[in-house]
Amino acid sequence: QVQLVESGGGLVHPGGSLRLSCAASGFTFTTYVMRWYRQAPGKERELVAHISAGGSGNYADSVKGRFTISRDNAKNTVYLQMNNLKPEDTAVYYCNTHLGLFDYWGQGTQVTVSS
């Protein structure tokens, strides 16, 4: 079955960096768009970045220039490199893919940016 497992979250000071990973299994990873979403307390889940099967990334305006999405098709893994983190980046970050009629989500990884 489809599984998405995120890792790499944690507590970081403003201006710091983190790299999130999402290990995928149960589907042909190389042919699907992969996405990172986040959800802050009391807010709706929002799309942060997505990457095409060919490796082209797109970003929300709020993270453009600070975050980089990438994928390693040999490892079935998608990454989110987050630099110059701000307190407003604090959220649970989720990996996502859409297969046929269904959306699949990981369990999420908490990112907290605080001094």
Cα angle 53-50-91, degrees, rounded to a multiple of 5: 145
State the Cα–Cα distance between residues 113 and 111, nearest whole angstrom.
7
- Write down the residue that tokens 């990996």 correspond to: 95
Q: Which residues pair with 103 in a beta bridge?
A: 98
Residues 6+ apart with CB under 8 A from 70: 51, 55, 57, 78, 79, 81
Q: What pLDDT, on the 0 to 100 scale, is given for residue 107?
A: 97
Condensed to tens digits (0 to 9), the pLDDT of residues 7-53 reads 999 999 999 999 999 999 999 999 999 999 999 999 999 999 999 99
Q: Which two tokens stand for residue 42?
A: 């009391």
Please tell me the total number of residues recorded for the chain in this structure.
Answer: 115
Identify whether the C-beta of residue 20 lies closer than 8 Å to the C-beta of residue 36. Answer: yes
Q: What pLDDT, on the 0 to 100 scale, is given for residue 55?
A: 93
- Write down the residue that tokens 């299994």 correspond to: 25
Q: What pLDDT, on the 0 to 100 scale, is given for residue 96?
A: 98
